[in-house]
Amino acid sequence: MIKNIATEAEFQTETDAAEGLMIVKFGAPWCAPCKVIDKTLEEVSAETGITVLKVNVDELPELAGQFRIMSVPTTYFIKNKEAVTILNGAGSKDTILGIITTEA
């Protein structure tokens, strides 16, 4: 499932309710690599059932700051409310599935 996050409160609710592994992608609509990884994450989510939260850094700069986002896309893999892996750039589907296999 892919969810576009509109507020910090919504982000907090989603991460608090998460069980197991979840993916949080920080990006922006003007970012070409973000569009590439969005398609990949949609495929991965459909195949694995893992929830993907998409955070627009232009709309939620404070949240991006809390995660120390310096470039987009940056993708966090979160398990039990802790970041276990951070992927900078538009990783391939194989890379993302490899991280999921390692962290799940």
Provide the annotated active-site residues. Answer: 31, 34
Q: State which H helix or E strand residue 21 sits in.
A: strand 21-27
Residue written as tokens 């195949």? 47
Residue 89 gets which letter from DSSP? S
Token readout for 95 is: 């890379």
